[in-house]
Chains A and B, each alone.
Chain A
Amino acid sequence: MSTQTLDAPPARKFKISKRFLPYVLSLPALLVCIGILIPFFTAVAYSLQRYRLSQPWARKYNWGENYLNFMTDPAFWNTLKVSLTYAFLTVGVELLLGLGIALLLQKRSRFNNFVSIMLLMPLMTAPALASLMWKLMTNPGFGVLSYWATLIGIEDMKWASDPSTAMLTVVIVDVWVYTPFIMILLLAGLRSLPRQPFEAAELDGVPRLFVFWKITLPMLTPFLLTAVLFRVIESIQQFDIIYAMTQGGPGDKLTVFQVEAYLNFFQSTNVGRSAALLMILWAITYILSTIFIKNWLRLRERARGDA
């Protein structure tokens, strides 16, 4: 046995040349990237075509015509307006509420920990499911919220069925689902802030409001930006809440990008227009992300004292 071991050739070690090592290490990332880029460039190609599944004979490259048509299409401008309004309103309200709740729960205690976990419940609910739940609660006939509205003197509240309150209704649902996300992010940020500046301010008897504006908020800004970045990206791409509640109606009050693109593809089978809409949505998301990330990096460097 031992003879055999001695006679066996030494196990060869698989060695990668240092020259190729960086490429080999980045190969998995490259493969993932290809998996993302192929559908992306396919969508780019589709967006440059006149392509309806129901008119295959008319399929051809029309280059920028889909995009040019948007310039004179009131439906497109409405979609842009509705999407930005929705993103602005939801993220704004969620930020204020999330920050407020995080400040209330900042102090570590059993009760605060329990409440923060409970407040995460909506985030664990699938948005489409949450929308159906809210659809029932806001039903003008039997919804509990409609009943409460009558108690405070608001009769005949139609919620998502009325053009004047449709946006408000879906924003409420979005706020209910996603405020906990911002809350938990900011709570983690608040609890990780260094104690010294706050202790010094307390010793000097600095008013709480001043501490909040001049110490807490600036130190929390990178966390705020991170929360806003994630929420803006998600909010401007909203689909499930709006589609489940109103399918984009009443009229065209809630025809955000994703709903419009979905209807264009699955209902109208207009692949070209749907892809062009999504490319514009991608461009908006890309620009916003770039702005946020640049600012976030700048603030991080400033916090390190590099800038």
Chain B
Amino acid sequence: MYDKEKKLVQSYMNGGISRRGMLRGLASMGMTAATASVLVNAVATEALAQNGFDWKKHSGTNLKLLLNQHPYADAMIANLENFKALTGMTVEYDIFPEDVYFDKVTAALSSGSTEYDAFMTGAYMTWTYGPAGWIDDLNEYIGDDSKTNPDYNWEDMLEGVRNSCAWNGQPGGALGSDDAKQWCIPWGYEQNNLTYNSRLFREAALTVPTNLDELVGTAAEAKAKIDGAYGIGVRGSRSWATIHPGFLSGYANFGEKDLNVSDDGKLSAAMNTDISRAYHEKWVQMIQESGAPDWSTHTWYQAGTDLGAGKSAMIFDADILGYFMNGTGNSEAGNLAFAPFAANPDADAPTPNIWIWSLAMASAGKQKDAAWYFMQWASGPEHGLFGATEKDFVNPVRKSVWADAGFRSRLDTSYPGYVDMHDLSAPGAKIHFTAQPLFFDLTTEWAAMLQKMVAKELPVDEGLGQLEASVNRQLKEAGLG
């Protein structure tokens, strides 16, 4: 690299000039934006190599990763050459679509396969993988100065996100407790808030709802006023994934829980309360009146694409769905806007339940130290900033990336309201479920019960009663209740 360009990029990295200033400067030297991102990356890697940490310790090692097809994986792959240059390691990976990804992970881990050294996972999945002994507690690496580079800055991770990936393995144990094991390293995460179609809202003279009652009303109004669109997109398939996004975010905002944990550590259903009943009734009414006609088969994919195609007025779902749907290639690109959402009118702020794409280490792996080198690089501040500013590595899990002026201005320009929504919601953003091994059983059953309620097969109070009885029976059978 020429000194002039290098100095310019270093000046940007040190915060001396803005990203726009750097790009303008590089352009005057005949460099494109794409080349600029490579330069930024290369400078960041050079800086990383100079912190005294022996990045070459495992030079020559070949790592194999199991990845989900996702923009986070794309961002990592785009930056992988720098990791190879930094460490002298080589990296192979298998990449699968999400429909089959977790089946592949379960099969690989449960069979004790040594094929994969590290893999992408969700935090909820570690509640199965951890107690089963399939993944390692990463605290022993994070706290080991000989294995972790001094600039890794673990404390830079958003606290709610970091804690949500740590559990002591005791059913009902608090996430992030002192005795918790760090089953995975957060990589990127999703908050659940409102994304709305500002064009449709403007044309139908709608105002952005700020609580559940307003949400129910606005969704109904949107459906009545807008031709060819329904009011609100939320997930509805018979899956745990229906419960964790908007539904649980709103539910937790009323202070409600999924399970009670008694003093002796026994678990019991907590969803059959008066407040929960009222919340379920409003949620069910909202879907019946203004949800997607085929709601009961809707996954994140349908919720997102309908919003991007102008078939729904808004979604109460993952913020990054709105982020991606606002990009080119979607008919409503540029029309989507973002708003924090606290379902409870008495709540101070939103309490989004979160989904965290994380990195975990296979216990059966044979090159764990080398795998940790990859994991700390991929979850480090340098790659986080590169992904967030140059690729679609959104939402980053590091405070330093969220504080980056270039990143914030990029979001502010193209995604109105996104940064404010994130900043307001981040303090309450965490996993609001009770960590326990029956997570998938109980939440799938909860989703099936919601489907029955929406289909009017059962009234809400009766449905909640049945759900409570079934949850308690299953907990008892599993020795947890």
A residues neighboring B (CB under 8 Å): 52-58, 69, 135, 139-141, 156, 158-163, 245-252, 263, 266-270
The smallest beta-carbon distance between B396 and chain A, in angstroms, is 29
The smallest beta-carbon distance between B196 and chain A, in angstroms, is 19
B238–A53 touching, CB < 8 Å:
no
The smallest beta-carbon distance between A77 and chain B, in angstroms, is 14
Report the Cα distance A57→B437, complex, angstroms.
12
B297–A54 touching, CB < 8 Å:
no
Residues of chain B from 430 to 481 with CB closer than 8 A to chain A in the complex: 437-438, 440-441, 444, 447-449, 451-452, 454-455, 457, 477-479
B438–A53 touching, CB < 8 Å:
no
Binds A, one of B69-77, B250-258, B288-296: B288-296
Report the Cα distance A37→B443, complex, angstroms.
35
B residues neighboring A (CB under 8 Å): 102-103, 106, 110, 127-128, 131-133, 237-240, 292-297, 306, 311, 437-438, 440-441, 444, 447-449, 451-452, 454-455, 457, 477-479
The contact of B455 among A56, A69, A250, A269, by CB within 8 Å, is: A250
A141–B479 touching, CB < 8 Å:
no
A247–B293 touching, CB < 8 Å:
no
Given contacts A141-B306, A163-B451, A251-B451, 12 further A-B contacts (CB under 8 A): A52-B478, A54-B127, A54-B437, A139-B294, A163-B452, A249-B297, A249-B448, A249-B451, A251-B238, A268-B441, A268-B444, A269-B110
The smallest beta-carbon distance between B20 and chain A, in angstroms, is 42
Q: Which residues of B contact A56 (CB under 8 A)?
A: 131-133
A-B contact pairs, 9 of them (CB 8 A): A54-B127, A54-B128, A56-B131, A141-B294, A158-B294, A249-B237, A268-B441, A269-B106, A269-B132
Closest to B171 in A: A55
Q: Which residues of B contact A160 (CB under 8 A)?
A: 294, 297
The smallest beta-carbon distance between B3 and chain A, in angstroms, is 55
A55–B437 touching, CB < 8 Å:
yes
Report the Cα distance A245→B451, complex, angstroms.
15
B297–A161 touching, CB < 8 Å:
yes
The contact of A248 among B110, B128, B238, B455, by CB within 8 Å, is: B238
A161–B293 touching, CB < 8 Å:
yes
B106–A251 touching, CB < 8 Å:
no
The contact of A141 among B127, B311, B438, by CB within 8 Å, is: B311
Q: Point out which of B133, B293, B438, B479 has the most chain A C-beta atoms below 10 A from its C-beta.
A: B293
Q: Which residues of A contact B240 (CB under 8 A)?
A: 267
Q: Knowing A55-B478, A156-B293 touch, does A250 contact B132 (C-beta < 8 A)?
A: no
The smallest beta-carbon distance between A76 and chain B, in angstroms, is 12
Report the Cα distance A266→B239, complex, angstroms.
12
The contact of A251 among B131, B133, B457, by CB within 8 Å, is: B457
Q: Knowing A54-B131, A55-B131, A247-B238 touch, does A163 contact B455 (C-beta < 8 A)?
A: yes
The contact of A58 among B448, B452, B479, by CB within 8 Å, is: B479
Closest to A259 in B: B238
Q: Which residues of B contact A57 (CB under 8 A)?
A: 131
Q: Which residues of B contact A266 (CB under 8 A)?
A: 102-103, 106
Q: Which residues of B contact A246 (CB under 8 A)?
A: 237-238, 296-297
B440–A249 touching, CB < 8 Å:
no
Closest to A156 in B: B293
Report the Cα distance A52→B451, complex, angstroms.
27
A69–B451 touching, CB < 8 Å:
no
The smallest beta-carbon distance between B130 and chain A, in angstroms, is 9
Closest to A142 in B: B311
Q: Point out which of B238, B240, B437 has the most chain A C-beta atoms below 10 A from its C-beta.
A: B238
A252–B295 touching, CB < 8 Å:
no
B297–A135 touching, CB < 8 Å:
yes
Q: Knowing A250-B451, A269-B106 touch, does A69 contact B477 (C-beta < 8 A)?
A: yes
The smallest beta-carbon distance between A121 and chain B, in angstroms, is 25
The smallest beta-carbon distance between B363 and chain A, in angstroms, is 12
Report the Cα distance A140→B440, complex, angstroms.
29
The contact of B448 among A161, A252, A267, by CB within 8 Å, is: A252
Q: Which residues of A contact B237 (CB under 8 A)?
A: 246-247, 249
The smallest beta-carbon distance between A163 and chain B, in angstroms, is 5
Q: Which residues of B contact A161 (CB under 8 A)?
A: 293-297
A141–B238 touching, CB < 8 Å:
no
Q: Which residues of B contact A135 (CB under 8 A)?
A: 297
Report the Cα distance A245→B127, complex, angstroms.
28
A251–B441 touching, CB < 8 Å:
no
Report the Cα distance A58→B477, complex, angstroms.
11
B437–A250 touching, CB < 8 Å:
no
Q: Knowing A266-B106, A267-B444, A270-B441 touch, does A140 contact B455 (C-beta < 8 A)?
A: no
Closest to B130 in A: A54
List the 3 closest A-B pairs by CB distance, nearest first. Answer: A249-B238, A140-B293, A54-B437
Report the Cα distance A247→B445, complex, angstroms.
12
A141–B293 touching, CB < 8 Å:
yes
Q: Point out which of B103, B295, B297, B444 has the most chain A C-beta atoms below 10 A from its C-beta.
A: B297
Closest to B107 in A: A266
The contact of B297 among A53, A55, A245, by CB within 8 Å, is: A245
The smallest beta-carbon distance between B245 and chain A, in angstroms, is 17
The smallest beta-carbon distance between B235 and chain A, in angstroms, is 12
The contact of A250 among B131, B133, B238, by CB within 8 Å, is: B238
Q: Which residues of A contact B451 (CB under 8 A)?
A: 163, 249-251
Q: Which residues of B contact A58 (CB under 8 A)?
A: 478-479
